Amino acid sequence: MSTTAAYQAAEQLLRRAARPGELVVGDKIRPQWIENDARFWYQVRDGDDRRFVLVDPAAGTREAGFDPTPFLPAPGNPLEVSSPDGKFAVSRRGNDLWAREGEREWALTTDGAEAYGYGYGPDVTSFQTLMNKFGLPHLPPVLAWSPDSTKVLAHRTDEREVRLTHLTEAAPADGGAPAVRTQRYGFGGDEHVPLAELVVLDVAAGTVVRAQCDPLVMPQVSPIATGWTWWTPDSSAVYFLSQSRDQRTLALNRMNAATGEVEVVISETGPTRVEPNQWLFEPAIVRLLDGEVLWFSQRDGWGHLYRYDLRTGELLGQVTSGEWLVRQVLHVDETERVVHFTASGLVDEDPYRRSVCRIGLDGTGFARITDDSLDHVVTVAENGQYFVDSASTVDTPPVTVVRDWSGRVLVELERTDITRLVATGWTAPERFCVKAADGETDIYGVLYRPRGFDPSKRYPVVDTIYPGPQVNRVDPCFDPGGMGLDAEPLAALGFVVVAVDGRGTLGRGKAFHDASYGRMADAGSLDDHVAALRQLAASRPWMDLDRVGAFGHSGGGFATVRALLTHPETYKAGVSLSGWHDARFFNAGFIETYDGADNPDAYAASSNVDVADRLEGRLLLVHGEMDDQVHVDHALRLADRLVKAGKDFEMLVVPGAEHMFLDCLSYVRTRCWDFLVRTLMGVEPPAYRPAPIPIDPELLAEIF
Q: What is the per-residue pLDDT across 144-195, written as a single tens digit (0 to 9) for each?
A: 999 999 999 999 999 999 999 999 999 998 899 999 999 999 999 999 999 9
CB 2 within 8 A of CB 684: no
Instruction: Identify the DSSP state of 288.
Output: E
> Looking at residue 112, what is its pLDDT?
98
What angle (nearest 5°) sits at the alpha carbon of residue 578, between those of residues 576 and 581?
75
> Looking at residue 136, what is its pLDDT?
82
Phi, psi angle pair for 520, to nearest 5°: -60, -20
Outline where DSSP puts E strands in 66-211.
80-82, 89-93, 96-101, 104-107, 116-118, 144-145, 151-158, 164-169, 179-184, 195-202, 208-210
Dist. CA 691–CA 699, nearest whole Å: 19
Helix/strand/coil for 600: helix
> Looking at residue 482, what is its pLDDT?
66
Class of domain 4-22+419-703 as given by CATH: alpha beta
What is the 3-class SS of 401-459, one letter each residue?
EEECCCCCEEEEEEECECHHHHHCCCCCCEEEEEECCCCCCEEEEEEECCCCCCCCCCE
- Residues 6 or more apart whose CB falls under 8 angstroms from that of 422 comprise none
Give the bridge partners for 87, in sequence order.
Answer: none
Phi, psi angle pair for 431, to nearest 5°: -80, 135
Dist. CA 68–CA 627, nearest whole Å: 39
Instruction: Identify the DSSP state of 85.
Output: T
CB 52 within 8 A of CB 30: no
CB 409 within 8 A of CB 369: no
CB 195 within 8 A of CB 215: yes
Distance set, CA 219 to CA 62, 109, 490, 491 (Å):
46, 23, 35, 38
Burial (0-12, 13-18, 19+ Cβ within 10 Å), 650: middle
Grouped pLDDT means (10 residues each) for the chain, 704 residues: 90 87 94 91 94 96 95 86 96 96 96 97 94 85 98 98 97 94 96 97 95 96 96 98 96 98 98 94 94 97 98 97 98 97 96 98 98 96 95 97 98 97 95 98 97 97 94 90 82 97 96 95 96 98 98 97 98 98 95 93 97 98 98 98 98 97 94 98 94 76 58
Dist. CA 222–CA 199, nearest whole Å: 13
Alpha-carbon dihedral sign for residues 82, 121, 703, 327: negative
Provide the residue ranges of all domains of the chain, joining segments of one domain with +.
Answer: 4-22+419-703, 82-159+194-277
Domain 82-159+194-277 belongs in CATH node 2.140.10.30: yes
Dist. CA 400–CA 25, nearest whole Å: 12
Give the number of other Cβ atoms within 10 Å of residue 616's Cβ: 12
Dist. CA 210–CA 214, nearest whole Å: 11
Residues belonging to the chain: 704
> Looking at residue 18, what is its pLDDT?
79
What is the 3-class SS of 229-277, one letter each residue?
EEECCCCCEEEEEEECCCCCEEEEEEEECCCCCEEEEEEEECCCCCCCC
Helix/strand/coil for 205: coil
Give the residue from 46, 24, 21 showing the smallest Cα distance to 423: 24
> Looking at residue 201, what is its pLDDT?
98
Give the residue from 463, 448, 495 showing the smallest Cα distance to 678: 495
Outline where DSSP puts E strands in 298-395.
304-309, 315-318, 325-333, 338-344, 354-360, 367-368, 375-380, 387-393
Distance set, CA 380 to CA 115, 179, 461, 573, 638 (Å):
39, 47, 40, 45, 47
CB 516 within 8 A of CB 505: yes
Dist. CA 65–CA 33, nearest whole Å: 17
> Looking at residue 499, what is its pLDDT?
96
Give the residue from 448, 461, 479 showing the smallest Cα distance to 548: 461
Dist. CA 501–CA 421, nearest whole Å: 26
Q: What is the per-residue pLDDT across 98-123, written as a single tens digit (0 to 9) for each?
A: 999 999 999 999 999 999 999 999 99
Give the residue from 189, 185, 163 showing the smallest Cα distance to 591: 189
Residue 414 CB-half CA count within 13 A = 28
Dist. CA 324–CA 620, nearest whole Å: 40
Task: Assess whether the region 4-22+419-703 and the region 82-159+194-277 belong to the same CATH fold.
Answer: no
Phi, psi angle pair for 529, to nearest 5°: -65, -45
Name the strand (E) or helix (H) holding 546.
Answer: strand 543-553
Amino acid at 307: R
Dist. CA 264–CA 276, nearest whole Å: 16
